[in-house]
Structure 1
């Protein structure tokens, strides 16, 4: 494949960045960003890219036949879409991918690295997981692709977890907290950035919380409402 078949839309930096403009905070469409329902249709991906979305979050796991498929839950159905098709659709829409890896083997980690390279997505991807072991597999197979470690506990030491996972980003999953944005304000955010780590946040749809996260200049924000996030990012 040649790059002429793909959108050449430029993305903000996909590595941890100490100083981002509001328009450089990565806008990540959680599971396609259609209100919580998986939506990776090409026309939908083109729509969210036009709004200003940068990445689409995709749940990836190993299917029954050993191939990589897109599905959130542990038992993917036979009709689960191949990861290759969704990644290719994202590339054609001018998006990057934030891959939430649910399970992986050494062989399928190599397959994933090869897939990203074949689709010209190695520089337009972040590999994420709640399992540090899976991220270390990714570090071996795709060492130049940034990695992000997910966690739920508000008492978790993010720096220690990032070191364990060999991750460049920490991703607190605090969407159930009443004001999770206040939990990551200083000193938490300052401590993380002192160790040159980036921050990508839970999926968030509350305007007040989104606005504060944009002011904090976290590296990325996941959301089920990419239109709202894009609108707030354009607000002075």
Structure 2
């Protein structure tokens, strides 16, 4: 087997593409998976009645017709605009994005042809897998150059059905603690048979933290960024402005998931109060821009807001994305051991602090607001509340440091950074905020070596840090 099959960490295999953020088995999902650091795309492959190979998970269309009995034109007429791309289109994208293809072959009769198409196209990094042992046998008999995987459902002895395979692919995601079955005895037997292991699609951060340390070839995930989170070697903390807002709709749970799953430390959120004193996460004072509602947030009850969607404006994929509550965000951050930057919009300090304290997240959250009184209210509530101050709001550094006992100071790219040596000497953390996408500016920020950054383009920034050797 070639070198890419002995990675230093598990391969990130995007399950049907980045299917947590885009329609599964589409070119958009595969491209997004590449943006999120996937090494390979898991692609479900069928064959039409007119011998076209295409990506689609189910064996039937929503109307009940079997895809294998239809022509490709009939399938295209029955599915969405982006659905059911041809394997040839996926191959072209894989070349362009330097990603491998993990073929989950749903049509055993097409196994050898799929292998031939990949080989003819010059795809080097590919794995061919199937639940059907016959497909694996046919590929072995045809002397495919690619490693073969047997997909193993729950309740089946992995070794009993995978004798012809190079890879045991465990589809155990429905078990409560499948990681407990991956013990030394299991891997010892894999070593004896010379087989590698690929794991189920995993989206739970706690389980992922355990299985990524196992000696496996790869892990599938709807969130491919979760497999190998970004690590900053200089302890840099990265705040994702309104979440990973280029991946998913701003200030939503999906945008926060993408941030935390990728390894970034903080999500910045904006908090408003409803007419009945509930706390919701939304940037604007009105609903019009990012929801299908209208009017001021604070004039609607929480029940009314729960009937709205907060994602369709971004993509039809997010048509069911709801406006999250502050409690939702606190729970999510805690599940990832992540942190929040809370900007108080119309939300009263007391209500916000009470929810933060209820989740025992006081040391995992910091605050700021354009409403100065809100910050004074927060400080009056607690000496332990972490408050940020913006350098641009004060004429002198001394004044900024003396106001409300801040836990950190924020600078923009237009501010004078000559304060930095003094701040470091005094132990005051520095955050640089930048909402643009100019790569030269992002490189300048990385070179300044701040303690924190607050960015609209955290993934581009992470790429820059990798190039500079301060992230992996």
| TM-score > 0.5, shorter chain as reference | yes
**Partner residue in 1 for 2:11:** 26
Helix, strand or coil at the partner of 1:230: coil
The reply to whether residue 153 of structure 1 matches residue 154 of structure 2 is yes
The reply to whether residue 116 of structure 1 matches residue 114 of structure 2 is no
**Partner residue in 1 for 2:204:** 206
Return the offset for 1:82. 1.5
Q: Distance in 1 between matches of 2:99 and 2:32?
A: 11
Higher RCO (CA 8 Å, separation ≥ 6 residues): 1
Q: Distance in 2 between matches of 1:195 and 1:118?
A: 30
Q: Distance in 2 between matches of 1:12 and 1:48?
A: 22
Q: Distance in 2 between matches of 1:40 and 1:92?
A: 15
**Partner residue in 2 for 1:137:** 138
Q: Distance in 2 between matches of 1:233 and 1:224?
A: 20
Q: Distance in 2 between matches of 1:172 and 1:88?
A: 29
Return the offset for 1:142. 4.7
Q: Distance in 2 between matches of 1:39 and 1:131?
A: 20
Contact 1:113 1:141 in 2 (8 A): no
The reply to whether residue 128 of structure 1 matches residue 129 of structure 2 is yes
Q: Distance in 2 between matches of 1:45 and 1:31?
A: 7
Q: Distance in 2 between matches of 1:144 and 1:205?
A: 31
Return the offset for 1:50. 3.7
Return the offset for 1:143. 2.3
Helix, strand or coil at the partner of 2:229: helix
Contact 2:14 2:220 in 1 (8 A): yes
Contact 2:33 2:224 in 1 (8 A): yes
Gaps of 5+ in 2: 60-65, 68-73, 77-83, 233-262, 264-471
Contact 2:153 2:171 in 1 (8 A): yes
The reply to whether residue 191 of structure 1 matches residue 189 of structure 2 is yes
| TM-score (structure 2 length as normaliser) | 0.42
After superposition, give the CA deviation of every residue in 1:165-208 in whole Å (9 maximum; x if it has no partner).
x1100111110111111112222222222211100011001112
Gaps of 5+ in 1: 1-10
Distance change (3 Å), C-alpha of 1:192 and 1:118:
same
Q: Distance in 1 between matches of 2:149 and 2:230?
A: 24
Contact 2:203 2:222 in 1 (8 A): yes
Return the offset for 1:45. 3.4
Return the offset for 1:151. 1.4
Q: Quick one: which of 57, 65, 75 aligns to 1:78?
A: 75
CA RMSD of aligned residues (A): 2.4
Helix, strand or coil at the partner of 1:171: strand
Number of aligned residue pairs: 213
**Partner residue in 1 for 2:325:** none
After superposition, give the CA deviation of every residue in 1:15-59 in whole Å (9 maximum; x if it has no partner).
xx4xx522xx111000012218414325x5344324321000000
The reply to whether residue 13 of structure 1 matches residue 1 of structure 2 is no
Quick check: which has more Rg, 1 or 2? Answer: 2
Contact 1:199 1:220 in 2 (8 A): yes
Helix, strand or coil at the partner of 1:216: coil
Distance change (3 Å), C-alpha of 1:39 and 1:152:
closer
Return the offset for 1:12. 6.1
Helix, strand or coil at the partner of 1:127: strand
Contact 2:25 2:57 in 1 (8 A): no
Return the offset for 1:226. 1.0
After superposition, give the CA deviation of every residue in 1:91-122 in whole Å (9 maximum; x if it has no partner).
211100000001132xx33422221122211x
Contact 2:40 2:100 in 1 (8 A): yes
Q: Distance in 1 between matches of 2:165 and 2:88?
A: 24
Contact 1:158 1:192 in 2 (8 A): no
Contact 1:21 1:217 in 2 (8 A): no
